[in-house]
Amino acid sequence: MAGYDPEQDKKIAEWKNEETGLIISIMQYGEGEPKLQVGPRILKKKDGSDRAPMKAGRLSVEDVMWLYDIIDEVKDELSDMVGPE
């Protein structure tokens, strides 16, 4: 069995919380089912440039409220790709 191949990992859609740096994305590996990924989190340096990505970790109330605001859009996008079961 072959290992992970980054060439087969595709980002289909992405949302970024500009305030907290949290990224939510729909990813698909090869021909597998598209799935929701929470993270990474990309914070800003003092000079305004992006720091290296880090784990999302625990979500703040700001992250939860932002996710609540976009969840219908995310659900619709993912549902269109996966379809009913």
* Domain presence at residue 69: yes
**Distance separating alpha carbons of residues 22 and 7, to the nearest angstrom:** 24
* Domain presence at residue 45: yes
* Domain presence at residue 58: yes
**Predicted confidence (pLDDT) per residue in 21-47, tens digit:** 999 999 999 999 999 999 999 999 999
Number of domains within the chain: 1
Percentage helix, strand, coil for the chain under 3-state DSSP, each rounded to 5 = 30, 30, 40
37: containing domain: 6-82
**Distance separating alpha carbons of residues 8 and 32, to the nearest angstrom:** 10
pLDDT for the residue 85: 61
**Distance separating alpha carbons of residues 25 and 12, to the nearest angstrom:** 7
Query: 84 pLDDT exceeds 70?
Result: no
* Domain presence at residue 1: no
